[in-house]
Structure 1
Amino acid sequence: MNGAGGVLTAVLAGPHTGTTLVAALSRGDGPPVTVPRDPAREAARRELARRMYHENDPSPVQRALNAFWDWVDRLFGAASASTPGGTLGLLVVLLFVVGVVAALWWRLGTPHRAPASSATLFDDRPKSAAEHRATAEAHAAQGHWNQAVQERMRAIVRSLEERALLDPRPGRTADEAGAEAGRTLPSHADRLVAAARDFDDVTYGGRPGDPRAYQRLTDLDRDLERTRPVLAGSAHGSRRGAAS
């Protein structure tokens, strides 16, 4: 041990530093040292604060994890102490809770977010097709294209219901209305599906409406008014007559 190391060891040893130093010096371990106690202790602290002494210390992340697991250990210790039966009782309670959650999950199934397009087309009191058209025109005149597109689609569906081309059904969606109407009016099936998509985009998809989308629905509404439905019986008869 060198002189500096002996001094540091003696200073950190405790209040009997002077006696230790005298004994060390009497054995010829180093030259006499006359440094007072407090400055020597401060020098020792500075020496031990050097990086070389802390290379193997845990990282801040490791210290945080150790503190977290200590907290978890104390938490479970307190819980087991307050639970009848101690640790075994706590495990029984935890298993019971897990069993209840598993039973509910099995009974109710995985929660699913309802798709946006499943919302109903009509969400207020029943209106006629003419009322929906008037409301759509008023929104379009003010540049409220989202509302204009929505009301024009509702006018199309309501008009088909009034003409008995669609059965009035609460809770129908725009997609369902477009698909059902396309079977009765096959010449406009693609435009009806596109109109339903425009309605869904501005209502649920976050896409703003625009004059072009509104004009497409307006043109479709007017064309549908002039279109005669294709009846299944007449279509079958036409095919049979052509075959003969």
Structure 2
Amino acid sequence: MSVIGAAPPGLLTIFDDIGRDEARRKAVEELIRPEYQQESLVDRLIRIVGEFFDGLLDSTPGGVPGGVVALVVITVLIAALAGLIVWQARKATRGRRAAQEGLFGTGELTADEHRREAERLAGESRWAEAVRERLRAIARDLEHRAIVAPQPGRTADELATAAGAELPVFADRLARAARLFDDVTYGQDPGSAQDYATMTTLDDDLRAARPATPATAGARPSAGGR
């Protein structure tokens, strides 16, 4: 059987043997049809898939092995596509949330207050939260010591870049700490005791470090120091 021949008319335009530009134009024309305008992306995908399967099943003679194989293959492909869409949507949401909240979120604590909160959370085995608080302690401490300038909305990556420029020997460890922060904050990583120990060791080492260059120009200690 012809799988393409079983597709509804809207999908046939996508599978025609046409050039890239023409395919793009036809896809746009298909998606801007009036009946699509009130649908969400997910609803639209479900409806198009439903139409495709209806056409496929209507044109498949009973008991034809090729039809079953085609159905299985298409189901797998659609499941993979749906998974990719969900993953991309979650990634975009995490990115927007990161840009809005930054490293500190809405909190205004000193470095020592962040450390005490981190220890409390670690004592309850809440590793993701403990890791976050420990990196926040690192950031506040670096700001208080004028190694990096205070910056509202700063992300973990931005902190690692700024601090790594002043403390080059710690640049790689700071970058790894930033990735760990992002993983437990936006990537649904639960964290672990080892992750927290890594962050704590970095904090302790940074407290004893001195910048290789003069303090960041214009930086001033924050009011809520260590």
Q: Report the TM-score range of the alignment, normalised by the length of the smaller protein.
A: 0.5 to 0.7
Q: Report 1:33-112 matches (<5 A).
A: none
Counterpart in the other structure of 1:5:
none
1:146 alignment partner, one of 86, 103, 128: 128
Equivalent residue for 1:211? 193
Match of 1:132 among 114, 118, 134: 114
Q: Deviations over 1:37-59 (max 9, x none)?
A: xxxxxxxxxxxxxxxxxxxxxxx
Q: CA deviation at 1:113?
A: 3.6
Deviation at 1:114, TM superposition (A): 5.8
Partner of 1:69: none
Give the TM-score of the pair, scaled to structure 1.
Answer: 0.49
Code of the residue aligned with 2:131 in structure 1: it is V
Provide runs of 4+ in structure 1 moved above 3 Å. Answer: 112-115
CA distance in 2, matches of 1:209, 1:161: 26
Counterpart position of 2:223: none
Structure 1 counterpart of 2:170, one-letter code: H
Alignment correspondent of 1:239: none
Q: CA–CA distance in 1 between the matches of 2:214 and 2:139?
A: 21
State the alpha-carbon separation in 1 of the partners of residues 102 and 156 from structure 2: 7
Q: Write the distance in 2 (CA, Å) between the matches of 1:153 and 1:139.
A: 13
Alignment of 1:112-123 (within 5 A): 113=92, 116=95, 117-118=98-99, 119-123=101-105
Question: Residue 162 and residue 151 in structure 1: after superposition, are their counterparts in 2 closer, same or farther (change >3 A)?
Answer: same
Task: Tell me the secondary structure at the aligned position of residue 191 of structure 2.
Answer: coil
Secondary structure of the 1:165 match is coil
User: Which amino acid in the other structure matches residue 160 of structure 2?
Assistant: G
> Counterparts of 1:222 and 1:232 in 2: how far apart (Å)?
21
SS at match of 1:181: helix
* Partner Cα separation in structure 2 for residue 125 and residue 215 of structure 1: 23
1:188-227 aligned at under 5 Å gives the runs: 188-227=170-209
Residue 74 of structure 1 is matched in structure 2 by none
Kindly report the root-mean-square deviation, in angstroms, between the aligned alpha carbons of the 2 structures.
3.0
Counterpart residue number, 1:174: 156
Identity %: 45
Number of corresponding residues:
131
Q: CA 1:144–1:115 in structure 2 vs 1: closer, same or farther (change >3 Å)?
A: closer
Cα deviation digits, residues 39-98 of structure 1 (max 9, x gap): xxxxxxxxxxxxxxxxxxxxxxx9xx79xxxxxxxxxxxxxxxxxxxxxxxxxxx99xx9
- Tell me how far 1:232 sits from its aligned partner: 5.5
Residue 232 to residue 130, structure 1, CA distance change in 2 (3 Å) = closer
CA distance in 2, matches of 1:125, 1:138: 17
Between 1:115-124 and 1:204-213, the stretch displaced more is 115-124
Cα offset for 1:206?
1.4
TM-score (structure 2 length as normaliser): 0.52
C-alpha change, 1:205 and 1:139, in structure 2 (3 Å) is same
Question: Per the alignment, do residues 142 and 190 of structure 1 end up closer, same or farther by CA in structure 2, a change over 3 Å counting?
Answer: same
CA spacing shift, 1:115–1:204, aligned 2, 3 Å: closer
Q: What is the distance in 1 between the residues matched to 2:195 and 2:170? A: 16
Does the residue aligned with 1:218 lie in a helix, a strand or coil? helix
Distance 1:128 1:232, change over 3 A: closer
